[in-house]
Structures are given as C-alpha cells and as structure tokens.
C-alpha cells in the first residue's frame, strides 16, 4: 500500500546543477531560518505546507556558507 501512495506522488527532485543561482547568492529569510534551526525540519515554518518536493535548503545553506560566509547575527530572524 505504501508503494502505491509513493507512486501517486509527483515529487520534484532537482539535482545540484538545477539549483537556482538566485537562492545561493544572498541569505533569504527562509535560508536564515533554516540555518538558525540547524536544518531541523521539525522546527521549520514550512513543515506544514504539504509541498510536493524534497527540501533543498541544506544544500543552499552549504553553498551560501561557501560563497558568502556565515550570516551575521544581526540578520537572525528565527
């Protein structure tokens, strides 16, 4: 039965090369939230959104840290 449910889901699974450059250039409010909750999806404000994709924010966070550095504490929103 679980397999039937999984087959019915249309999931968007982007690869690393499909990640939008615009979300990896600046710390957005959602990226900051994810960073400060340590990528704990149970604490995420989007967790009840029932989105049909697998969260890519941990990859975005890694890229942001490599390209722009860790966020300043004054940017903390979460």
CB proximity list for 57: less than 8 A, separation 6 or greater: 30, 31, 34, 39
Q: Give pTM, 2 decimals.
A: 0.65
Query: Could you read off the pLDDT of 18-76 as tens digits, one per residue?
Result: 667 777 888 999 999 999 999 998 888 887 777 777 888 999 999 999 999 999 876 55
Mean predicted confidence (pLDDT) in 7-11: 43
pLDDT for position 63: 93
Residues, the chain? 78
Distance CA(64)–CA(70), nearest Å, equals: 7
pLDDT for position 74: 61
pLDDT for position 62: 94
**Residue 34, token pair as written in the block:** 């994810």
């Amino acid at each position: 039965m679980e397999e039937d449910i999984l087959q019915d889901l249309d999931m968007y699974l982007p690869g690393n090369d499909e990640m939008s450059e615009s979300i990896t250039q600046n710390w957005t409010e959602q990226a900051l939230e994810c960073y400060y909750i340590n990528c704990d999806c149970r604490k995420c404000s989007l967790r009840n959104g029932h989105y049909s994709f697998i969260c890519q924010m941990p990859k975005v966070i890694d890229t942001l840290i490599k390209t722009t550095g860790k966020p300043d504490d004054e940017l903390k929103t979460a």
